[in-house]
Amino acid sequence: MELNIRKLTESDWDLLVKWWGMYPEWKQHPTKDMLPDNGTGGFIVEKHGTPIVAGFLYTTNSKVGWMEWIVSDKNYKNKDKKDAIELLITGMEHVARESGCKIILSIGRNNNLINSHKQLGYTVDSKPSYEIAKQI
């Protein structure tokens, strides 16, 4: 399959913005200063150099890691996209564990992403919750 996961670099930013723009339900994508390491604190999965999916991992001085802003190339239709998503999740889980985290959290509404989390042993609450945010 030859999927590869690597740390995001500054040169990935324009691609991420393009991907976020493919999903009209995302009214606003994050700016670099809202992301870990100014937009490079995440990971991207590629196949033969073709980017498929990316996401960010927030860590703090607590034992909690937060996986967020997971986005993929909406036009990538290969059957290994699911495997790429699972590699991204397990890769960020590994980094969180190595950073001392005891739990990793994520928010999702995409059914494929939720199902990938379930398959990897994550608990998905059956009651919907709401993202609560305020721009300050």
CATH number of the CATH domain containing 115: 3.40.630.30
| Residue closest to 20 by CA, chosen among 54, 46, 48 | 54
Q: What percent of the chain has pLDDT over 90?
A: 67
In a domain, 134, yes or no: no
Residue 17 and residue 13: Cα distance in Å, rounded? Answer: 6
**Element at 89 (helix H, strand E):** helix 81-98
pTM of the model: 0.88
Angle between helices 81-98 and 111-119 (to 10 degrees): 60
- Whether 50 has a pLDDT exceeding 90, the answer reads yes
For 4-45, write each residue's pLDDT tens digit.
999 999 999 999 999 999 988 877 889 999 999 999 999 999
In a domain, 132, yes or no: no
**Element at 98 (helix H, strand E):** helix 81-98
Neighbours of 8 (CB within 10 A): 21
For 108-122, write each residue's pLDDT tens digit.
877 788 888 888 888
In a domain, 103, yes or no: yes
pLDDT score at 1: 60
In a domain, 125, yes or no: no
